[in-house]
């Protein structure tokens, strides 16, 4: 699957988590089995346009916001989800820092 599709799937996963929705809830919205939804969200299957429209409606975001991964995710956070979004952001930054440290250590060893 192409990188852009994978990025869209990851964005959907993040927004779903931020909104506190389960994969089962989302599978009900899309009228697909839980396993089919998991394959979509994990990037193992392509999203159809109609599925993306349903997801954008469930998240109360525009379709362009959902698929344009260059738009910062932070902009869509509702006040009640702020702490979850902040923690997700901090976890992402922490993970990136750990990756950089690992690369630096590997480079020093060579």
Q: Taking the domains of the chain in order of start, what are their residue ranges?
A: 1-71, 77-110
The string of pLDDT tens digits covering residues 51-81 is: 999 999 999 888 888 888 787 776 555 656 6
Q: What is the rounded CA–CA span in Å between residue 67 and residue 18? A: 17
Task: Identify the CATH number of the domain defined by range 1-71.
Answer: 1.10.260.40
pLDDT over 60 at 6, yes or no: yes
Q: Which two tokens stand for residue 37?
A: 């939804």
The string of pLDDT tens digits covering residues 86-108 is: 777 888 888 889 888 888 888 77
Q: What is the rounded CA–CA span in Å between residue 105 and residue 109? A: 6
């Amino acid at each position: 699957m192409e990188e852009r599709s994978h990025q869209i799937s990851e964005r959907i996963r993040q927004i779903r988590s931020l909104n506190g929705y389960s994969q089962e809830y989302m599978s009900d919205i899309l009228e697909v089995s839980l396993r089919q939804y998991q394959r979509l969200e994990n990037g193992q299957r392509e999203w159809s346009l109609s599925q993306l429209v349903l997801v954008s409606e469930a998240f109360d975001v525009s379709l362009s916001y959902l698929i344009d991964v260059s738009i910062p995710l932070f902009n869509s956070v509702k006040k009640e989800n702020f702490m979850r979004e902040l923690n997700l952001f901090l976890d992402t930054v922490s993970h990136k820092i750990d990756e950089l440290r690992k690369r630096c250590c590997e480079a020093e060893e060579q």
